[in-house]
Amino acid sequence: MSRTVRVPAARVVRWFENFGARHGEASCSVEAGRLVAVAVDGAVARAALPLGRGYDGAPDPTSFAEAVAAPVTWGLLLVRKGGFAVAVVRGTEVVSSKVGRRHVQGKTKAGGQSQQRFARRRDNQARQAYEAAAEHAVRILTGTGADAGAGTAPRLTALVCGGDRSAVDAVLADARLARLRDLRVDPWLPVPDPRAAELAQAVQDGSSASVEIDEPGAGSDRAPVKDDRTG
Cβ distance 69 to 12 under 8 Å?
no
**SS3 for 222?**
strand
pLDDT score of 16: 98
> Model confidence over 174-226: pLDDT tens digits?
999 999 999 999 999 999 889 999 999 999 999 999 999 999 875 544 444 55
Cβ distance 100 to 130 under 8 Å?
no
Concatenating the DSSP letter of every residue in 28-92 gives EEEETTEEEEEETTS-EEEEE-STTPPP-S-SSHHHHHHHHT---EEEEEEEETTEEEEEEEETT
94 pLDDT tier (thresholds 50, 70, 90) = very high
Please provide the distance, in angstroms rounded to a whole number, between the alpha carbons at the two ends of the chain: 14
Which residues, listed in sequence order, are joined to residue 184 by a DSSP beta bridge?
159
pLDDT score of 52: 96
Helices (H) and strands (E) in the chain, counts: 6, 11
pLDDT score of 220: 43
Span 76-206 CATH architecture: 2-Layer Sandwich (3.30)
> Model confidence over 39-84: pLDDT tens digits?
999 999 999 999 999 999 999 999 999 999 999 999 999 998 878 9
pLDDT score of 222: 46
Q: Would you kindly state where each structural domain of the chain is located, as residue ranges?
A: 2-50+208-227, 76-206
Run of H or E including 227: strand 222-227
Worst-scoring range by mean pLDDT, 54-58, 105-109, 164-168, 225-229?
A: 105-109
Distance CA 157, CA 72 (A): 7
Residues 6+ away with beta carbon under 8 Å from 166: none
> Model confidence over 113-151: pLDDT tens digits?
555 554 555 566 667 788 989 999 999 999 875 444 545
| Average pLDDT of the segment spanning 159-171 | 96
- ∠ CA 181-100-176, rounded to 5°: 30
pLDDT score of 21: 96
For residue 218, give the nearest of 64, 39, 62 by alpha carbon. 39
Q: What is the pTM of this model?
A: 0.82
82: left (phi over 0), alpha (psi -120 to 50) or beta: left
Residues 6+ away with beta carbon under 8 Å from 173: none
Distance CA 64, CA 45 (A): 13
| Average pLDDT of the segment spanning 4-33 | 97
Assess whether pLDDT exceeds 80 at residue 108. Answer: no
